[in-house]
Amino acid sequence: MTVTPTVDAKVLVVHASSKKKKKKKTERRRLSRLGKQNRRQTVAQLTAQYNAGASASVSEHTVQITLLDMALCSRCTTRVPLLTKCHRHLRLQWAREHRDWTMDEWKRVKWSDES
């Protein structure tokens, strides 16, 4: 690790070189492909699948850090209720009430992406 101190406007700034990445671009791409094939895989399963290949073996921690670095994070799926017949009826009724609106009427609506 190389530390290079510099003075910038009365503030001492220390620049440290970052740790060298062990994974090459091709290995990172392979790991990315494996991770995107099945998004529900655990890091342990993904590591086992990666280590079964021809490349050098890596630890689960290395796989986890590499995935986070590539912005492949785990997410929980959100369960939402399906539309009922009542919901569909209300939506259709609303659409029928507003189908004859003019552009001026629509311009007065405050649009939001929140429900």
* H or E element that contains 8: strand 3-8
Q: Examine the pLDDT at 101 and tell me if it is beyond 70.
A: yes
pTM for this prediction: 0.49
Closest CA to 61 of 20, 23, 24: 23
Closest CA to 69 of 41, 40, 29: 29
Closest CA to 74 of 110, 46, 101: 46
pLDDT, residue 94, reads 95
> What is the per-residue pLDDT across 9-41, written as a single tens digit (0 to 9) for each?
566 556 666 666 655 888 888 888 988 888 888
Q: How many helices (H) and strands (E) does the chain have?
A: 5, 2
